[in-house]
Structure 1
Amino acid sequence: MAKHTDTSWKEDHPSTLLSNSVQKANHAVKQAMSYPEEQTVEQACDSISHAKNALDNAEQHYGHMDTVQQNKEQLELLEQQLDEVQENMKDQ
């Protein structure tokens, strides 16, 4: 079996992948909030979807970890923010 260095193990850890995905989703949602256009909203939806997949994986392996729970809450907030952006786009 191949040896993992500390760095590569941390990069591949489900909670690290989740944190990275949520950070990317956060950035994408902020972009959509600043520039509410179809493309930015679609990118934010894709980022949130990717983060949800990472969340599912992290919950399966480490559901009890505080970082998983914190990222889950952050992801829920991002979904709400994106929903608001989409609603505002419909109203215009």
Structure 2
Amino acid sequence: GVGHVVAVGAGVSHIREGDRVGIPWLYSACGHCEHCMGGWETLCEAQQNTGYSVNGGFAEYALANADYVGLLPKGIGFIEVAPILCAGVTVYKEIGRA
């Protein structure tokens, strides 16, 4: 899912209201297993997936884990980036680094 942030939870400092963000297929992972520690969260046996094990983004509003939400570059449109977040989980880290 893609959209603008309307609110953030306590302790979230890297995302602000109004930011353009994307919610990838990988909603969350445990963060401490061998896969997560090796940077392969997509192989985590405890991973949660957007639209599968947690509610997805086909709604006016969506809740997301701030640790996995990526800020979107200003020059890229929502329509262009949305498919990458869904089917392109292999590049979700790069969007976060952009």
Q: Same fold (TM over 0.5)?
A: no
- Pick 1 or 2: higher relative contact order, CA cutoff 8 A, min separation 6: 1
Bigger helix share: 1
